[in-house]
Amino acid sequence: MRFRSDPASIRGSIVPVVTPFLSDGSVDLESIPRLVEWHLEQGAHGISVLGSTGEPSTQTVAERIAVMEAAAAAVSDRVPFVPGTGTTKLAETLELTAAAERLGADAVLVVSPYYSRPTQQGLYEWYAAVAREFPALPIILYNVPIRTAVDVAPATAARLARDFDNVVGIKETTKDFEHASLVLHACGSDFLVYSGIELLCYPMLVLGGAGHFSCVANYAPRPVAELYDAFVEGRHDDARRLHFDLHPLVELAFLETNPAPAKFAMAELGLIPSAHVRPPLAAVTAETRARVVELLRSSPHVALEPAAA
């Protein structure tokens, strides 16, 4: 938890690691340390689990805590560890957040409660309850309206940042780039704003963002991390080149609902033993499988094993 007291240091490519499942659907805890180690070798600046890419809504509270335990032990305080702890229920969110705090998380990513469609006051009270319960734990709001059916308004984010010292940032997973700009303006330069939209990772940095949670980093972590490194080092031509280089790998991620294509790509690359996703997600179609392999082969940033090709 060495980054917990300095949340401003939680920057760069924070990999939203998939939750690996075995072919029978059980959680593959043994693959988590291998994935974490590989991501750190590839230059990742931080590790997250149980965001949208981690299929948290398909897991029990006990499974999610087990995933956090495996990931926290593997990270071992080398980089920031930012697990997702939000659910549709406040009691579960508090239970998961307490587990994350106990396991040494540097911050937690708390998604807006999905399905309920709360008002802005409801969102404020939801996040306020988490912030009050864990005053020493940095809280990162997770705004993903395509999945939650509600948008955290810039004014609501600013109100939370103003009222709670431990509400330190927000992950903006919205293609409305005007919204992200308004959040940065309303919350001030000290507020950490991360991109959750792959093709907005570079533009968010230009506006003053702190980094990104990109699902593409699951199978191409090095270029996603290097984009951030190039930007902060002032190598803007390199950062723009990487931004455009990543377009085909972004296409791959969203051929079907995330993370099914990403998991298939990772299995093809030998990173996980199974591409299994839990219902209601389904295995990708034959057409998607063929397109994933085509995109992997065409990218200079990944390499298929001969057997997979």
- Which letter does DSSP use for residue 255 in this model? S
17 DSSP β-pair partners: 49
Structure confidence at residue 96 (pLDDT): 98
Given 124, 127, 171, 219, which residue is catalytic?
Answer: 171
In percent, how much of the chain has pLDDT > 70?
98
The 8 Å CB, 24+ separation contacts for 266-271 are 266/18, 266/218, 266/219, 268/292, 268/293, 268/296, 268/304, 268/308, 269/219, 269/296, 269/302, 269/303, 269/304, 269/305, 269/308, 270/305, 270/308, 271/35, 271/38, 271/218, 271/219
Distance between CA atoms of 213 and 198, rounded to whole angstroms? 8
Domain regions of the chain by residue span: 7-233
Topology annotation, domain 7-233: TIM Barrel (3.20.20)
Q: Which whole number is the average pLDDT over 236-260?
A: 97
Q: What is the mean pLDDT of the chain?
A: 96
Q: Which whole number is the average pLDDT over 272-279?
A: 98
Structure confidence at residue 304 (pLDDT): 72
- Answer yes or no: 171 catalytic: yes
Q: Which whole number is the average pLDDT over 261-279?
A: 97
pLDDT (tens digit per residue) in 210-220: 999 999 999 99
Structure confidence at residue 1 (pLDDT): 81
Q: Which of 73, 70, 82, 64 is nearest to 14 (CA)?
A: 82
Structure confidence at residue 305 (pLDDT): 61
Structure confidence at residue 283 (pLDDT): 97
Given 89, 114, 127, 142, which residue is catalytic?
Answer: 142
pLDDT (tens digit per residue) in 124-152: 999 999 999 999 999 999 999 999 999 99
pLDDT (tens digit per residue) in 162-187: 999 999 999 999 998 899 999 999 99
Q: Which of 33, 108, 111 is nearest to 66 (CA)?
A: 33
- Answer yes or no: 263 catalytic: no
15 DSSP β-pair partners: 47
Using pLDDT thresholds of 50, 70 and 90, give the confidence band for residue 12: very high
Are 198 and 214 in contact by the 8 Å Cβ rule? The answer is yes
Rg (CA), the chain: 18
Structure confidence at residue 307 (pLDDT): 41
pLDDT (tens digit per residue) in 79-109: 999 999 999 999 999 999 999 999 999 999 9
14, exposed or middle or buried, with CB in 10 Å at 0-12, 13-18, 19+?
A: buried
Evaluate if residue 309 carries a pLDDT over 70: no
**Lowest pLDDT segment from 73-87, 225-239, 244-258, 292-306:** 292-306
Using pLDDT thresholds of 50, 70 and 90, give the confidence band for residue 299: very high
Q: Which whole number is the average pLDDT over 241-250?
A: 97
Using pLDDT thresholds of 50, 70 and 90, give the confidence band for residue 303: confident
